[in-house]
């Protein structure tokens, strides 16, 4: 969409209005935490890992609660945060256009206000869903308007615990950097609880030149005239299939194990204030049954995504066709894929098998992961209701914090690390790494962190009150003879 010449001025005016609105509701948002040092080095109250939508919203929420000694660390360069302009290949967001979240309830910071300022009121009224590029542009505008502190090209590589503080090591262009913080928020996205998953029977048998996961960079121009096989029935599998078709692939076959595509999206049901705000308060068995149904139902591809593929005559769906094995053929130029219905031959494979949840696979978490409780450690499901995937997720406390397998020092350390990734879903619902649940999840996370910090320093705050001596009554305009003792 072409931006008219007045869009820049309108966005600048919107930024000014948003800041003025924040001033109007700034009561009790002044900084109240005590500055700390460790061996002469300043200590952050909160280090946020990841400058995507979750990390930005968390920093904003903490600021509104008076916690300003915060820094966001992002492994990518500016402009490469999150999936929206990197590996995401959908045309629009999945969520309805009226969803809110990073704005934290401030009308002038909502996606609608931004969109109308950039494109006009009529454009918003006629819009179906927000494009992924516009969502990133909106997040960029929000970050700049709020002057949220982000350090780019900082990759977290190690976490340790010394004298009641988190010691974080980052890899940066300047070399290794040490950061000390009281709290850390992992806002590292969909794969933040593990890693993207490629079945071993694929990765161990064929050259990486013959396949790519949907999260990887793919040069689709090299697929012109090629036979492409796609594994998976999720939205990203369809997005990549559509992109290959649009770029000129000779044929695309999408295989999945189910006998038919799911049609009902349970995520739409979850978008109500009751579930979003209070799911985490349910008993374990109820939360388990909610999530078991949701995970096993899965989401269908959006209707427009499905038709984006289906309109191509050279697109095929292969239902009930899990891949059983793969091998290189034709001198390593193509691949033979065994299915229950015979062997299929392709020139390139696209793997849409999502991600696996295992914190030990995260380099920055590998030393801590064995100490973290998982659902499988804390909950035994009723017979017949087992689910290995759910059992692998971390079992979180009410503030998104990790909980220990055993007590002692591990409890204090893990309570300082808050998991605001997709892996939080079984414990917290749509709280981390989800636009739909951000409004409620960010609020719970930020308030939980603020509570912890205030309680930890309770005696210091009491001492501060006892020494508070700012007079409010400064003028006594009464003659001395009128005073009585």
| pLDDT above 70: percentage of residues in the chain | 98
Kindly state whether residue 70 falls inside one of the protein's structural domains.
yes
* Same domain? 385 vs 306: no
The pLDDT of residue 1 is above 60: no
* Same domain? 147 vs 256: no
DSSP SS3 for 47: strand
* Same domain? 368 vs 420: yes
* Same domain? 217 vs 246: yes
* Same domain? 227 vs 365: no
Kindly state whether residue 278 falls inside one of the protein's structural domains.
no
* Same domain? 248 vs 380: no
Kindly state whether residue 268 falls inside one of the protein's structural domains.
no
CB under 8 Å to 182, separation ≥6 — which residues?
36, 43, 44, 45, 46, 165, 166, 416, 453, 456
In 3D space, the residue among 351, 353, 352, 355 whose CA is nearest the CA of residue 422 turns out to be 355
Domain count, the chain: 2
* Same domain? 457 vs 380: yes
d(CA 253, CA 238): 10
Residue where a domain stops, chosen among 291, 326, 353: 353
d(CA 90, CA 98): 18
Kindly state whether residue 469 falls inside one of the protein's structural domains.
no
* Same domain? 245 vs 223: yes
DSSP per-residue codes, 311-334:
TSTTEEEETT----EEEEETTTTE
Kindly state whether residue 424 falls inside one of the protein's structural domains.
yes
The pLDDT of residue 476 is above 90: no
d(CA 194, CA 447): 26
Which CATH number goes with the domain that contains 31? 3.50.50.60
> Any idea which of 160-169, 206-215, 455-464, 476-485 has the lowest mean pLDDT?
476-485
Look up the pTM and report it. Answer: 0.94
Which residue range(s) make up the domain with 152? Answer: 7-193+357-461
- Average pLDDT estimate for 478-483: 72
Kindly state whether residue 284 falls inside one of the protein's structural domains.
no
Kindly state whether residue 271 falls inside one of the protein's structural domains.
no
* Same domain? 237 vs 259: yes
Give residue-wise pLDDT tens across range 69-102. 999 999 999 989 989 999 999 999 988 899 888 9
Q: How far apart are the first and last CA of the chain?
A: 78
d(CA 238, CA 88): 11
* Same domain? 323 vs 385: no
Give residue-wise pLDDT tens across range 351-394. 999 999 999 999 999 999 999 999 999 999 999 999 999 999 99
Residue where a domain stops, chosen among 291, 318, 353: 353
* Same domain? 257 vs 385: no
Buried b (16+ CB within 10 A) or exposed e, 83-106: bbeebbbbbbbbbeeebbbbbbeb
Give residue-wise pLDDT tens across range 142-181. 999 999 999 999 999 999 999 999 999 999 999 999 999 9
Residue where a domain stops, chosen among 323, 353, 383: 353
Q: Which neighbouring-strand residues pair with 230?
A: 254, 350
d(CA 25, CA 107): 12
Q: Is-contact 48 148, C-beta < 8 A?
A: no
Main-chain dihedrals φ then ψ at residue 330, nearest 5 degrees: 55, 45
* C-alpha distance from residue 185 to each of 46, 276, 293, 391, 413 (Å): 7, 20, 28, 22, 13
Res. 252 pLDDT band, cuts 50 70 90: very high
The pLDDT of residue 45 is above 90: yes
Kindly state whether residue 474 falls inside one of the protein's structural domains.
no
């Amino acid at each position: 969409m072409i931006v008219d010449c007045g869009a820049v001025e309108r966005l600048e005016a919107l930024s000014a209005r948003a800041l003025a609105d924040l001033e109007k509701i700034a009561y009790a948002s002044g900084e109240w935490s005590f500055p700390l040092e460790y061996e002469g080095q300043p200590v952050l109250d909160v280090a946020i890992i990841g400058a995507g939508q979750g990390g930005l919203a968390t920093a904003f929420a903490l600021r509104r609660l008076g916690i300003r000694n915060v820094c966001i660390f992002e492994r990518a360069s500016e402009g490469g945060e999150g999936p929206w302009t990197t590996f995401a290949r959908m045309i629009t967001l999945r969520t309805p256009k009226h969803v809110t979240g990073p704005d934290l309830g401030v009308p002038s910071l909502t996606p609608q206000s931004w969109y109308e300022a950039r494109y006009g009121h009529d454009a918003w009224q006629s819009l179906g869903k927000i494009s992924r590029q516009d969502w990133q542009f909106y997040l960029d505008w929000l970050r700049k308007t709020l002057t949220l502190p982000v350090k780019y090209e900082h990759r977290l590589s190690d976490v340790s615990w010394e004298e009641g503080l988190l010691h974080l090591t980052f890899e940066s262009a300047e070399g290794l950097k040490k950061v000390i913080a009281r709290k850390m928020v992992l806002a590292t996205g969909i794969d933040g609880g593990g890693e993207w998953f490629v079945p071993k029977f694929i990765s161990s048998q064929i050259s990486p030149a013959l396949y790519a996961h949907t999260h990887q960079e793919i040069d689709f121009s090299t697929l012109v005239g090629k036979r492409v096989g796609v594994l998976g029935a999720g939205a990203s599998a369809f997005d990549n299939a559509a992109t290959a078709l649009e770029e000129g692939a000779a044929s695309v076959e999408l295989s999945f194990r189910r006998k038919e595509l799911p049609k009902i999206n349970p995520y739409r049901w979850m978008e109500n204030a009751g579930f979003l705000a209070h799911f985490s308060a349910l008993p374990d068995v109820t939360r388990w049954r909610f999530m078991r149904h949701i995970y096993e139902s899965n989401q269908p591809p959006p209707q427009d995504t499905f038709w984006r593929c289906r309109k191509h005559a050279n697109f095929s769906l292969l239902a009930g066709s899990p891949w059983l094995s793969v091998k290189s053929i034709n001198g390593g130029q193509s691949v033979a894929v065994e299915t229950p219905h015979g062997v299929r031959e392709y020139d390139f494979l696209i793997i849409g098998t999502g991600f696996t949840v295992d914190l030990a696979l995260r380099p920055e978490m590998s030393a801590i992961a064995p100490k973290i409780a998982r659902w499988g450690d804390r909950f035994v499901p009723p017979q017949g209701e087992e689910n290995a995937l759910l059992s692998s997720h971390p079992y979180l406390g009410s503030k998104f914090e990790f909980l220990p397998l055993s007590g002692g020092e591990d409890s204090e350390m893990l309570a300082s690390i808050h998991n605001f990734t997709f892996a939080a879903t079984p414990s917290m619902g749509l709280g981390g790494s989800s636009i739909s649940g951000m409004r409620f999840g960010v609020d719970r996370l930020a308030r939980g962190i603020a509570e912890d910090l205030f309680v930890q320093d309770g005696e210091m705050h009491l001492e501060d009150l006892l020494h508070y001596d700012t007079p409010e009554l400064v003028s006594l305009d009464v003659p001395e003879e009128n005073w009585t003792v």
